[in-house]
Amino acid sequence: MGALIRIDGVTKRYCSTNGTVTPLNRISAEIPQGRLVVLMGPSGTGKSTLFRLLNRLENPDVGEITYQGIPLTKWDPVRLRREVHYVHQTPILFLDTVEENLSYPLSLQGKKASTERMREVLEQVGLPESFLKRHVDELSGGERQRVNLARSLMLDPPVLMLDEPTSSLDPKSVDTVEKMMIRARDQGRTVLLISHSREQAERVADVLWQLEEGRLIPGQVMR
């Protein structure tokens, strides 16, 4: 199977008061369709930077990334972000109710979100239908994190990039979200997960990548 996403010799640099920082230094990797890839490494080593490049929130200084064989620079950014969808670690819920937040992504496409679909995605992240009428200010940090994830599932993206989606969750909710990730993979989606938990990686990963000192060590096959 060919690569769905190809990262070819990518470098990303930032200028800081202490000089130039290079979180990603000539990294290369391939991501096949329908795999669950876990990215690990110490804090501040470029994991979120890589997600930003894959989502084209930033561009590499050197090298190229392709999706479906097409360079990211040739993709319309809006279409790319619907296909390669980035779920940030910090939830941003900008409308009043959970229902409004879940329906918003489809409304941008001129589509109407059905109550059945919203109930379905809430169930996938372990929340009941009654949450649709909840005001976001009433939600705990873990509940906000799961609503944030449910909103992304409304788009049904082919590629789901998750930046520590279980960091604020209790063990039962962690189990629910991990099952959602595995189900998404089993349905043919490609899932990329940033995690600091080796135990979580062992539970869910098909392939484990390690990012350290700007270097990506890909390809440890877990299953």
The domain limits of the chain are: 3-90+157-221
Q: pLDDT tens, 19-41?
A: 898 999 999 999 999 999 999 99
Q: What is the 3 state secondary structure string of 160-185?
A: EEEECCCCCCCHHHHHHHHHHHHHHH
Q: pLDDT tens, 45-83?
A: 799 999 999 999 999 999 999 999 999 999 999 999 999
CATH topology of domain 3-90+157-221: Rossmann fold (3.40.50)
**CB-based contacts of 178-185 (< 8 A; 24+ apart in sequence):** 178/203, 178/204, 180/124, 180/125, 180/149, 180/153, 181/36, 182/36, 183/124, 184/160, 185/34, 185/35, 185/36
